[in-house]
């Protein structure tokens, strides 16, 4: 294909991505270095028979003019990045100096919103991703051994938790685990504790969100592994059987190595998707106990006075996190493309 | 393993069936439970005393004389105007899918037929864009949209959703077009077609399986989106998902949880039908990226 033809074919999609992804991205970065203007104050001295006093009033005209001249706001450099609501260098340094123990230092970090969100986001990613892969593999192995007609039925029902809107899926589970819902009251019955509530404590909220995450994503891993199982070489399995391998050994030494590229694929997609965890926190109304980076951005934008600079700064930090997660993949793709280097 | 000719021991067989049954319940039961419960009154749906009330609908009977009631649906669709959200979702999804597919088909085709170095870089950039959480872009959209006075409108949101969909759709269609042999359009070009004519007469007739699969996924992305639609649409133009989220705030306090339950069930039905009719395409789409690595 000639360069010119390629250009015309690719132009519409390139324009869409340039205007509505690349451009907003640069605007987010520039927002993160600017703070809103402060109001211009007029200081005047008013003297009356009892003495003189200075009085400051807002100069609306000058404020408007300033906002018009510099719509981005005032340049503050990295000030927003290091403030209390983001990386909070000053507070972290203070905590470090006054720490009594390392765990004490970690728990005092929990008072800073960025680190609290980071803590949940990373825990969620680290716990949910391997569990999704494990459950997906087990479900795939189990379903694959069923009768042909049952398989189709299982695939149909397994797709549901994944296809359904995350917010809607989490709401459905949220109602069920309510103290008056079937799962919530069932758990109270089992542990014979009438005050047991999954929403009340931080630990249980985290567990709920993680269970939701696995429920939502295991079907994806299942479908991918299930497709992979259809291509497991029969000869290798048979020769393993002749060599006296047990069922378990066959799975470990033949099936799992065959699926390993798929495991890498599922892990990559899951890392990207779990890092942006957001809807379940809204659906489970869990923000008092668990927040994520995406949730902080949402919260800043949703304020009555939209905190664009703060949201933009968190956005940039989130994007840096995504790039770090993706780095191994990018390096691998680069190496594959340039094998001689 | 089905390929094993040796019969499985009974214990293993039972374990497998038990596990499959358990997963079936975990995956499907919440949906059926909520669908059933959406026809009850709140005190039955949340029945603390006896969970069997949620099935039989004792209190629903006491209020309405029957064990089923459409009161939740009536409240949500008519009183809270959920139909508006439903039609907004339909509009947004239709135009998002149409536009996404049109421009991504052209782009994906071009990428698959161009062996130049820049096409590799374009794919990598698309991969990075795919990894960005959409919410990180939202604060970049708002100030210009306010300034141009286009905030809150459906077309604005459609364009944004199309753009956010592009990286994913592009990747999918790129890998699909690579499975169509290059010789097809090459020979058309030898016969004197331009590249576009070759695309028009040779590729378009055979591309529908891939395009339908990509369309399903861009439909799901548009239908399920919360972060973008919740921030970019005004009250009248809200789609279903942000509308449901706003129910959470208002109805919970007014004791109209059943409105939200009915709305949630209403928004699941289209997805249910989608899986029913397009199961094969969904599965092939999920595995398409994986098989090629």
Tally of domains within chain A: 1
pLDDT in the model for residue B6: 57
Residue B57 backbone zone (phi > 0: left; psi -120 to 50: alpha; other: beta)? left
Q: What is the band of B289 on the pLDDT scale with cuts at 50, 70, 90? A: low
**Residue A229 located in a structural domain:** yes
| Chain B (61-100) residues lying within 8 Å, Cβ to Cβ, of chain A | none
Evaluate whether residue A232 is within a structural domain.
Answer: yes
Residue A118 has pLDDT above 90, yes or no: yes
Least confident among A124-128, A170-174, B41-45: B41-45
B244-286: per-residue pLDDT in tens? 988 876 656 666 788 889 999 999 999 999 999 998 888 888 8
Q: Does A185 touch chain B if contact means CB atoms closer than 8 Å? A: yes
User: Under an 8 A CB cutoff, do B289 and A265 touch?
Assistant: yes
pLDDT of res. B1: 45
Q: What is the pLDDT of residue A71?
A: 75
**CA distances in angstroms from A33 to A40, A301, A317, listed in the order given:** 21, 17, 13
Closest CA to B54 of B64, B65, B66, B43: B43
- According to DSSP, the residues that pair with A34 across neighbouring strands are A75
Q: With an 8 Å Cβ cutoff, are B23 and A139 in contact?
A: yes
Answer yes or no: do B30 and A294 touch at CB < 8 A: no
> Is A57 within a domain?
no
Instruction: State chain A's mean pLDDT as an integer.
Output: 87
Please check whether residue A165 touches B, CB under 8 A.
Answer: yes
> Three-state SS for A56?
strand
The answer for A 22-51 residues in CB contact with B (under 8 A) is 23-28, 31
Going by C-beta distance under 8 Å and a sequence separation of 6 or more, which residues neighbour residue B124?
Answer: A330, A333
Question: Across residues B89-98, what is the average pLDDT?
Answer: 96
How many residues does this entry show for chain B? 293
A120-170 residue pLDDT tens: 999 999 999 999 999 999 999 999 888 888 888 899 999 999 999 999 999
Residue range A264-290, pLDDT digits in tens: 889 988 998 999 999 999 999 888 899
Domains and CATH numbers, chain B: 35-69 (no CATH), 81-292 (1.10.3720.10)
Predicted pLDDT of residue B236 = 87
Task: Determine whether the interchain pair A215/B26 forms a contact, defined as Cβ–Cβ distance below 8 Å.
Answer: yes
In this prediction, residue A332 carries a pLDDT of 80
Q: Does A325 have pLDDT greater than 80?
A: yes
**Residue A117: predicted pLDDT:** 94
Q: Is the pLDDT of residue B4 over 60?
A: no
Residue A165 lies in a domain: yes
Burial class of residue A326 in the structure, from the number of CB atoms within 10 Å of its CB (0-12 exposed, 13-18 middle, 19+ buried): buried
Length, in residues, of chain A: 341
pLDDT tens, B189-242? 888 888 888 899 889 999 998 999 999 999 999 999 999 999 999 888 999 999
Cβ contact A227–B54 (<8 Å): no
> Which residues from B are below 8 Å from A20, CB to CB?
137, 141, 159-160, 162-164
Contact assessment for residue A296 and residue B135, using Cβ atoms and an 8 Å cutoff = no
Q: Are A294 and B227 inside 8 Å of each other by CB?
A: yes
Q: What is the value of ipTM here, to two decimals? A: 0.90
Nearest CA in chain B to A273: B131
Residue B261: list chain A partners with CB under 8 A. Answer: 175
Yes or no, beta carbons of B271 and A250 under 8 Å apart: no
Range of the domain at A315: 117-337
Q: Using CB atoms, pick whichever of A150, A165, A333 lies closest to residue B224.
A: A165
Report CB contact under 8 Å: B274, A163. yes
- Tell me, what CATH number does A304's domain have? 1.10.3720.10
Is it the case that residue B55 has pLDDT exceeding 60? Answer: yes
What is the dihedral angle through the alpha carbons of B165, B168, B172, B178, rounded to the nearest 10 degrees?
Answer: 110
List CB contacts (< 8 A) between B116 and chain A.
3, 6
The DSSP symbol for B206 reads G
Contact indicator for A222, A154 with CB cutoff of 8 Å = no
Q: Which two tokens stand for residue A234?
A: 């029969």
Q: Which of B114, B123, B98 is nearest to B214 (CA)?
A: B98
Residue range B166-182: mean pLDDT, rounded: 90
Q: Do residue B261 and residue A175 have CB atoms under 8 angstroms apart? A: yes
**Whole-angstrom distance, CA of residue A158 vs CA of residue A117:** 31
Cβ–Cβ of B196/A5 closer than 8 Å?
A: yes
**Looking at the predicted structure, is the pLDDT value of residue A219 above 60?**
yes
Q: pLDDT tens digits for B119-138?
A: 888 988 998 898 899 999 98
Helix (H) or strand (E) holding A58: strand A51-58
| CB contacts, 8 Å: A196 with chain B | none
Chain B contact probe: residue of A3, A7, A14, A16 with most B CBs at under 10 A: A16
d(CA A268, CA A261): 11
> How close A15 gets to chain B, by Cα (Å)?
9
pLDDT reading at B163 higher than 90: yes
Report CB contact under 8 Å: B290, A265: yes
pLDDT at A333 over 80: no
- Say yes or no for a CB contact (<8 Å) between A247 and B109: no
In A243-282, the residues whose Cβ lies within 8 Å of chain B are: 247, 250, 255, 261-262, 265-266, 269, 272, 275-276, 278-279, 282
Q: Nearest Cβ partner of A165 from B167, B223, B257? A: B223
For residue A75, tell me if it sits in a domain: no
Chain B, 209-238: which have a CB under 8 Å from a chain A CB?
A: 220, 223-224, 226-227, 231
The answer for residues whose C-beta is within 8 angstroms of residue A252's C-beta and 6 or more apart is none
Of A157, A167, A237, the CB nearest to B241: A167
pLDDT value for A3: 86
Is the minimum CB–CB distance between A194 and chain B shorter than 8 Å?
no
pLDDT of residue A236: 86
Give the rounded distance of the alpha carbon of B188 from its chain centre. Answer: 37
A93 interface with B at CB cutoff 8 Å: no
Residue A141 and residue A220 in contact, taking contact as beta carbons nearer than 8 Å: no
> Which ranges in chain A belong to alpha helices (H)?
3-17, 23-31, 60-69, 79-82, 89-97, 102-109, 113-144, 148-163, 166-177, 182-190, 202-229, 234-242, 247-250, 256-275, 279-283, 293-302, 308-337
Q: State the pLDDT confidence band at A111, using cuts at 50, 70 and 90.
A: confident
What are the φ/ψ torsions at residue A275 (nearest 5 degrees)? -65, -25
Res. A98: pLDDT tops 90: no
Residue A231 lies in a domain: yes
Asked if B53 and B44 count as a contact pair (C-beta separation under 8 A), the reply is yes
Lowest mean pLDDT among A48-52, A85-89, B8-12, B70-74: A48-52
Q: What radius of gyration do chain A's Cα atoms show?
A: 27
Tell me if A157 is assigned to some domain: yes
A339 falls in which pLDDT band (50, 70, 90)? low
Asked if the structure places residue A110 within a domain, the reply is: no
Give CA–CA dist B229/A22, Å, rounded: 19
Determine, for residues A171 and B166 on separate chains, whether the beta-carbon distance falls below 8 Å.
Answer: no
**pLDDT score for B220:** 93
- pLDDT value at residue A197: 82
The reply to whether residue B143 touches residue A238, judged by beta carbons under 8 angstroms, is no
Instruction: Using a CB–CB cutoff of 8 Å, tell me whether B28 touches chain A.
Output: yes
Task: Output the six-digit token pair for B250.
Answer: 């208002």
Nearest alpha-carbon partner for A12 in B112, B87, B100: B100
Percent of chain B with pLDDT over 70: 93
pLDDT above 60: residue B290: no
Return the pLDDT at B2: 47
Cβ-based contacts of B104 with chain A (< 8 Å): 13
Q: How many CB pairs under 8 A join A and B?
A: 280
């Amino acid at each position: 294909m000639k360069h010119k033809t390629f250009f015309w074919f690719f132009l519409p999609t390139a324009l869409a991505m340039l205007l509505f992804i690349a451009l907003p991205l640069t605007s987010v970065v520039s927002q993160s270095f600017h703070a809103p203007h402060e109001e211009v104050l007029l200081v005047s001295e008013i003297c009356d028979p009892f003495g003189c006093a200075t009085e400051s009033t807002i100069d609306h005209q000058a404020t408007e003019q300033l906002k018009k001249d510099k719509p981005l706001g005032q340049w503050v450099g990295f000030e927003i990045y290091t403030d209390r609501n983001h990386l909070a260098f000053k507070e972290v340094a203070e905590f470090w100096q006054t720490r009594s123990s390392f765990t004490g230092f970690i728990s005092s970090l929990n008072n800073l919103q960025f680190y609290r969100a980071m803590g949940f986001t990373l825990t969620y990613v680290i716990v949910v991703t391997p569990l999704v892969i494990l459950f997906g593999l087990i479900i795939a192995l189990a379903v694959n051994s069923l009768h042909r007609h049952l398989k189709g039925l299982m695939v149909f029902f397994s797709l549901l938790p994944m296809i359904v809107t995350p917010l809607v899926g989490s709401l459905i589970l949220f109602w069920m685990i309510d103290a008056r819902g079937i799962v919530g009251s069932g758990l109270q019955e089992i542990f014979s504790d009438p005050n047991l509530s999954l929403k009340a404590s931080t630990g249980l909220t985290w567990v709920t969100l993680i269970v939701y995450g696995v429920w939502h994503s295991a079907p994806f891993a299942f479908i991918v592994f299930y497709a992979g199982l259809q291509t497991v070489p029969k000869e290798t399995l048979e020769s393993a059987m002749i060599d006296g391998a047990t069922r378990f050994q066959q799975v470990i030494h033949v099936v799992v190595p065959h699926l390993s590229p798929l495991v890498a694929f599922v892990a990559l997609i899951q890392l990207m998707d779990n890092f942006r965890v957001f809807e379940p926190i809204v659906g489970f109304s869990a923000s008092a106990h668990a927040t994520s980076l995406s949730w902080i951005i949402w919260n800043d934008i949703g304020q009555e006075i939209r905190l664009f600079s703060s949201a933009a700064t968190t956005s940039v930090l989130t994007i840096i996190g995504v790039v770090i997660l993706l780095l191994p993949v990018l390096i691998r793709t680069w190496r594959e493309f340039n094998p001689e280097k | 393993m089905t390929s094993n000719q040796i019969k499985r021991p009974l214990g293993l067989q039972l374990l497998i069936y038990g596990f499959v049954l358990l997963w079936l319940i975990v995956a499907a039961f919440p949906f059926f439970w909520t669908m059933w419960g959406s026809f009850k009154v709140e005190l039955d749906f949340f029945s603390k005393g006896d969970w069997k009330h949620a099935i039989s609908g004792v209190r629903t009977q006491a209020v309405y004389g029957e064990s089923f009631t459409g009161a939740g649906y009536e409240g949500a669709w008519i009183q809270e105007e959920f139909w508006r959200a439903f039609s907004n979702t339909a509009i947004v999804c239709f135009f998002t899918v149409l536009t996404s597919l049109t421009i991504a088909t052209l782009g994906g085709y071009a990428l698959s037929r161009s062996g130049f170095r820049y096409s590799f870089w374009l794919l990598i950039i698309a991969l990075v864009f795919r990894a960005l959480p959409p919410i990180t872009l939202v604060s970049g959209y708002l100030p210009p949209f306010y300034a141009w006075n286009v905030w809150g409108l459906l077309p604005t949101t459609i364009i944004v959703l199309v753009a956010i969909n592009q990286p994913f759709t592009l990747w999918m269609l790129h890998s699909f077009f690579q499975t169509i042999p290059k010789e097809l359009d090459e020979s058309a070009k030898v016969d004197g077609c331009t590249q576009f004519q070759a695309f028009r007469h040779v590729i378009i007739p055979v591309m529908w399986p891939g395009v339908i699969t990509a369309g399903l996924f861009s439909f799901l992305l548009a239908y399920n989106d919360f972060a973008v639609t919740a921030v970019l649409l005004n009250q009248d133009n809200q789609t279903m998902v942000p509308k449901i989220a706003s129910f959470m705030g208002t109805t919970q306090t007014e004791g109209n949880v059943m409105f939200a339950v009915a709305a949630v069930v209403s928004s699941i039905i289209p997805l249910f039908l989608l899986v029913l009719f397009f199961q094969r395409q969904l599965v092939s789409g999920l595995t398409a990226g994986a098989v090629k690595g």
